[in-house]
Structure 1
Amino acid sequence: MKFGTLDDIETARKTVILRVDFNSPIDPASNTILDDKRFREHTPTVQNLQDSKVVIVTHQSRPQKKDFTTLKAHAERLEHLLGRPVEYIDDIFGRCARDAVKKMDCGDILMLENVRFNAEENIKMTPEEAASTHLVRGLSKLGDIYVNDAFGTAHRSQPTMVGLPYVMKSVAGTLMEKEVSCLSKVFSDSPKPVTFVLGGTKVDDSMNVARNVLECGIADRVVVVGVVANVFLLAEGVDIGCPSSDLIKKLGYYGEIKKAAEILSKFKDKVILPEYVAVRNEDGTRGEFSVDKIPDKYPVLDLGLDSLVPFTDILRNSGTVVFNGPAGLFEEDLFSTGTFELLKAASESEFSVVGGGHTAVVAESLGINDRFSHISTGGGACIEFLTGKKLPAISALEKSREMFGKK
């Protein structure tokens, strides 16, 4: 790795500015955190800094959203998980924050207010621009070292992600290091054959991943499911019915059909499309049809059972499986079979990665999350990483190592 890690730096008795991503599902009415998975993923980094004064910088949601709120509940949840006091203060870098930091002893943990309450944090900017913001200048005065553990936000070029490494000695936290290491393995020494499963509704991201891993020779096969599969079927001239076609138009992905056609023209034998799908019948029941006989008025909502057997065989016989996006409307029991069975099969491969987001939630709900080699905490960040892009936060950490030295 070109960036520094906690092993490269002395943090004992130092004041550490720790950027994490505690952005979580929350009940706006009661301000109750509904899922603390990200808290649990970050706790090893916090525990590794137990001899430091830890000042936590994080966010919840973004402006105009219903769950854009203070971090009092987040501090309480972290305190519960750590079994150690976590002080919350409703300030970011003002006098109250400065005074609170001055009073800290080694082993203390302080959580600052939602950093996105500061307008500068919500603006995309270059690292140089970010380094000169009031936010970065103010936060950098609070600590000696900056540790970025927020992989889930690593694709955002925002001040705390890319500006602080330009003004402070900075390293990656335990989770950031783990994410980059595991995802990088997909591109280098992962067991063969390598299969990508791309589904869900983020069609443009999936197209970019498919193109990258096929053109670079990383993937031996790309299995497409969900709305992504529907776009590929349209590219092949298959009539998927009005409801499914209308959804693609509504999501703004009709232009992706051309991209799908280009991928198929180059890698026809490596892109695996479903031959059978499941639809919702007029009476609400599940119906199974081959793709050339999809009823015009019924929406495609899952992988067909006759496609499930060959698909699961492919995954079980793969050395590496990267799984990103569900195979259908998994929230409904009637259409959850494809997603559930494919995930179970993927977990049996020698090296298996789940790309965060909804897929990670399903894996945990099935109780099979421990069977995967790695489950990413960053949906968007993971996808961008798999497209071959260098994430802004990672580039900033690499630059910080150049600027402030390896030790």
Structure 2
Amino acid sequence: MPIGTIKELGAEGKTVLLRLDLNSPIDPATNLILDDKRFREHLPTIRALSGSRVVIVTHQSRPGKKDFTTLEAHAEKLEHLLGKPVTYVDSIFGSHARDSVRAMKSGDILMLENVRFNAEENLTLKPEEAKKTHLVKKLSSMADIFVNDAFGTAHRSQPTVVGLPLAMRSAGGLLMEKEVFTLSKVFSGAPRPVCMVLGGTKVDDSIDVARHVLENGIADQVIVIGVVANVFLIAAGYNIGKPSTQLIAQLKYQEEIGKAKEILTRYRDRVVLPESVAVRENNRRVEYPVAKIPEDAPVLDLGMDALAHLVQTLKKAGTVVFNGPAGVFEDKDFATGTYELLRAASHVEFSVVGGGHTAAVIEKLGIGKDFTHISTGGGACIEFLTGKKLPAVDALEQSKKIFG
């Protein structure tokens, strides 16, 4: 069942609780927001609600982190990008917040304090339990309807994400709608052949994605790069050297080697492993075939032979889903693999990129406009691709059943 949309809600003249994900890189010393990409992604939804009283519920970081802070700078940043006032209220549902919401007129925008300052928002709860929290009861009493546009938080089962849709008429915002629609297309209707590129360090998630897309015939090929490739190389019987093997142990991914072996046994012809790698030796980049990786040098990028082969594979694809870098791209000596694979992926007919590091590299390369879709949620995107129903999407579907 699809999620409800803003059009169906008839939000004109109503008070709307709008859940956004404005969690951004921040300089803890100055509270300066270093990247406003997430703000920009939410602007169409905020503008679509211009005839309503918009009460923004959002978060920054989580308890215990250096960048866990108030949202004063976020309100200022949003005000600057929208070109209209955004009132910041340093309360979530206290009398100050309630009075401020009551005083709003149509077209006004107000941002409540960091919702994770409330302990309940940091709990993982089933929707029915989340609905009973103090936080959901108080927030839902302050507005007429709820719009969730926070795709980056869609994989979390937290009260504002899964409880509010059960407490009030709800819909997905324009960004949520776009993310769900585009990522769903990967499963059906994407131009073939479909090629998944799985990299970075989230090995367990990547292996879940690989298994799901291969088992269900969603992907024709899965290319593995980064630490994900190192796990597959061990599973295929290669010695990747001590530093890279130790990193896998450090990240607690030894169990994933068995799962990778199982995938290779069943789908060896559809999993593409790199045939050469770049390591750091005597402080410089040196390349080796995967059968001859030195014992004491860390694997930090793809080798040029491997890169040439993978670029050719991507050129033949109709669809590319790209999640995670090919190596330590922050070091310019080991950025080539990530940069060149992304450039190749950008020329494909239908190209989707998972959020996080990969999206940051694309911004840096200035090729964002060449991709069909760059997801705003790394964790949410990869969980969606494993075939699991995201808690936020599920809650919005349930809301549609309850409230129509």
Q: TM-score range by the shorter chain?
A: over 0.9
1:353 aligned to 2:347? Answer: no
Unaligned segments of structure 1, at least 5 residues: none
Structure 2 residue identity aligned to 1:141: S
3-state SS of 2:208 partner: helix
Q: Output aligned runs, 1:39-50, within 5 Å.
A: 39-50=39-50
Stretches of structure 2 that go unaligned for 5 or more consecutive residues are: none
Q: What is the root-mean-square deviation of aligned Cα atoms in Å?
A: 0.5
Distance in 1 (CA, whole Å) between partners of 2:145 and 2:126 is 21
Task: Report SS of the residue matched to 1:255.
Answer: helix
Pairing 1:289–2:285 present: no
How far is the alpha carbon of 1:87 from its aligned partner? 0.3
How many angstroms apart in 2 are the aligned matches of 1:394 and 1:306?
42
Matched-pair contact (CA < 8 Å) for 2:124–2:158: yes
Matched, 1:366 2:365: yes
Structure 1 residue 382 corresponds to structure 2 residue 381: yes
**CA-CA distance at 1:8 after TM superposition:** 1.0
Rounded to whole Å, the distance in 2 between the matches of 1:47 and 1:313 is 42
Report runs of 4+ in structure 1 exceeding 4 Å deviation: none
Match for 2:184: what amino acid? S
Q: CA deviation at 1:181?
A: 0.4
For 1:274 and 1:374, the matched residues in 2 are separated by 26
Q: For 1:2 and 1:344, how far apart are their aligned partners in 2?
A: 34
Name 2:110's counterpart in structure 1. 110
Q: Is the 8 A contact 2:9 2:170 kept in 1?
A: no
After superposition, residues 6-405 of structure 1 pair within 5 angstroms as: 6-281=6-281, 283-405=282-404
Counterpart residue identity of residue 342, structure 2: L
Pairwise CA distance, 1:272 = 0.2
2:274 alignment partner AA: P
Distance in 1, matches of 2:198 and 2:392, equals: 25
> What CA distance in whole angstroms lies between the structure 2 residues aligned with 1:2 and 1:375?
21
8 A contact 2:151–2:377 mirrored in 1: yes
Cα distance, 1:9 vs structure 2: 1.6
Amino acid in the other structure paired with 1:387: T
Counterpart CA distance in 2 for 1:310 and 1:326 is 17
Structure 1 CA distance, aligned partners of 2:297 and 2:209? 29
| 2-structure distance, mates of 1:182, 1:167 | 28
User: Residue type of the partner of 1:94?
Assistant: G
Q: Which residue identity lines up with residue 34 of structure 2 in the other structure? A: L
Q: Distance in 1 between matches of 2:362 and 2:353?
A: 8
Letter in 2 for 1:84: K
Query: What is the one-letter code of the residue matched to 1:389?
Result: K
CA distance in structure 1 between the partners assigned to 2:151 and 2:375 by the alignment = 9
Q: Distance in 1 between matches of 2:326 and 2:2?
A: 36
Distance in 2 separating the partners of 1:2 and 1:228:
33
Following the alignment from structure 1 to structure 2, what is the Cα–Cα distance between the partners of residues 2 and 181? 10
Give the match's secondary structure for 2:312.
helix
Matches of 1:228 and 1:402 in 2, distance apart? 40
Q: Is the partner of 1:186 in helix, strand or coil?
A: helix
The 3-state SS of whatever aligns with 1:40 is helix
CA distance in 2, matches of 1:73, 1:80: 11
Q: CA–CA distance in 2 between the matches of 1:121 and 1:183? A: 27
Query: By how many angstroms is 1:316 displaced?
Result: 1.2
Percent sequence identity is: 67
Partners in 2 of 1:374 and 1:27 — Cα distance?
Answer: 28
In 2, Cα distance between equivalents of 1:161 and 1:27: 27
Q: Using the TM superposition, give the Cα deviation of residue 389 of structure 1 relative to its aligned residue in structure 2, in angstroms.
A: 0.1
Give 2:58's aligned amino acid.
Answer: T
Distance 1:7 1:260 in 2: 45
Q: Deviations over 1:108-156 (max 9, x none)?
A: 0000000000000000001110101000000001100100000000010
- Displacement of 1:260 after TM fit? 0.3
Shift of 1:85: 0.3
TM-score when scaled to structure 2? 1.00
Q: Within 2, Cα distance between the matches of 1:127 and 1:301?
A: 42
SS in 1 for 2:23: coil
Measure the CA separation in 1 of the matches of 2:200 and 2:11: 41
Determine the C-alpha separation between the residues in 1 that align with 2:265 and 2:41: 41
- CA deviation after TM superposition for structure 1 residue 310, in Å: 1.0
Q: Which amino acid aligns with 1:325?
A: G
Shift of 1:161: 0.2
Higher mean C-alpha deviation, range 321-330 or range 307-316: 307-316
SS in 1 for 2:254: coil
How far the C-alpha of 1:47 sits from its partner, in A, is: 0.5
- Distance in structure 2 (CA, Å) of the matches to 1:209 and 1:357: 17
Q: Distance in 2 between matches of 1:290 and 1:92?
A: 57
Separation in 2, partners of 1:189, 1:128: 34
Deviation at 1:2, TM superposition (A): 1.6
* Distance (whole Å) between structure 2 residues aligned to residue 315 and residue 95 of structure 1: 56
Distance 1:25 1:50 in 2: 28
The amino acid that maps onto 1:333 is: K
